[in-house]
C-alpha cells in the first residue's frame, strides 16, 4: 500500500514501482509512506533518503492529526519524529481526521479521540471506520455484515449497498 500526502489531500494506491513514478509523486507531495510486509517506510523530500520506522504494523492511517497505526496485537501507535509512541487502548482498525482519531476494537466497538484526551466510546458496532481529514463530522463505517453506515449527528444512518472497506473524503 502506498499513501501519498498532498496539499489537497491523501492519495492511496496499492501499486507502485518505478523510481520515476516515486519522483513524480514527490514533486507534488510532502510525505510518502509505503507499507511493505507490515514494515513502514517513509520519505520526506529527497527520494534517496528512505527511512524505516522500527516495528511492524497491520494498519496505518495518515491525516492532519498525524500518522497513527495498529499492530497485530491491537496496540496503538502514533508517529513521532524518530519512533512510534505507544498510545493506551486496543484497536484493530484506525482512521485519522482533522482533529480526531477514530477506531474499532476486536469486538467492533467504536472509539474516538480528540486533543490529548483519552478514547471515548461511541455507540454502535463497526468492523471498519473512516473519518475525513477535512471534516471530523464526516465519518463512515462498515459492520460485520458489510452494511454501510454514515454518522449523522450522534447516530449512525444505514446506507444502501454492501462493502468491506469504506473511505471518507472531503465531500463526505
- Distance between CA atoms of residues 91 and 50, nearest Å: 28
d(Cα 9, Cα 169) in Å, to the nearest integer? 8
Report the alpha-carbon distance of residue 52 to residue 91 in Å, rounded. 23
What local confidence, expressed as pLDDT, does residue 80 receive? 80
Mean per-residue pLDDT over the chain, rounded = 78
pLDDT at 172 exceeding the cut of 80:
no
Give percent of the chain with pLDDT exceeding 90: 41
Instruction: Please list, in sequence order, all residues whose beta carbon lies within 8 angstroms of the beta carbon of residue 165, skipping any fewer than 6 positions away.
Output: 128, 142
pLDDT at 5 over 60: no
Confidence of residue 2 (pLDDT cuts 50, 70, 90): very low
Between 4 and 49, the more confident residue is 49
> Which one, of 58, 64, 50, 100, lies nearest residue 77 by Cα?
58
For residue 64, what is its C-alpha cell?
492532519
Helices (H), the chain: 19-28
* pLDDT of residue 6 exceeding 50: no
pLDDT band for 109, please (50, 70, 90 cuts). very high
d(C-alpha 97, C-alpha 65), whole Å: 6
For the segment 103-117, the average pLDDT, to the nearest whole number, is 93
Per cent of the chain over pLDDT 70 is: 66
Lowest mean pLDDT segment, chosen from 6-15, 86-95, 137-146:
6-15
Region 36-50 average pLDDT: 63
User: Region 2-24: what's the mean pLDDT?
Assistant: 42
Mean pLDDT in residue range 148-167? 93
What is the per-residue burial (b if ≥16 Cβ within 10 Å, else e) of 70-108?
bbeebbbbbbeeeebeebebbbbbbbbbeebbbbbbeeb
Place of cell 513521532: 80
With a threshold of 0.85, does the pTM exceed it?
Answer: no
Amino acid at each position: 500500500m502506498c499513501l501519498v500526502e498532498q496539499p489537497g489531500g491523501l492519495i492511496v494506491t496499492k501499486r507502485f514501482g518505478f523510481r520515476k513514478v516515486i519522483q513524480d509523486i514527490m514533486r507534488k507531495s510532502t510525505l510518502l509512506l509505503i507499507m511493505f510486509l507490515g514494515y513502514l517506510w517513509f520519505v520526506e523530500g529527497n527520494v534517496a533518503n528512505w527511512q524505516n520506522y522500527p516495528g511492524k504494523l497491520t494498519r496505518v492511517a495518515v491525516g492532519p492529526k498525524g500518522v497513527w497505526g495498529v499492530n497485530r496485537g491491537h496496540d496503538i501507535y502514533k508517529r513521532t519524529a524518530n519512533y512510534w509512541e505507544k498510545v493506551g487502548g486496543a484497536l484493530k482498525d484506525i482512521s485519522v481526521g482533522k482533529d480526531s482519531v477514530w477506531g474499532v476494537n476486536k469486538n467492533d466497538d467504536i472509539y474516538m479521540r480528540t486533543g490529548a484526551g483519552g478514547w471515548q466510546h461511541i455507540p454502535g458496532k463497526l468492523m471498519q471506520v473512516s473519518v475525513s481529514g477535512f471534516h471530523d463530522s464526516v465519518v463512515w463505517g462498515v459492520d460485520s455484515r458489510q452494511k454501510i453506515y454514515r454518522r449523522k449527528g450522534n447516530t449512525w444512518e444505514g446506507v444502501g449497498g454492501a462493502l468491506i472497506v469504506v473511505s471518507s473524503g472531503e465531500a463526505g
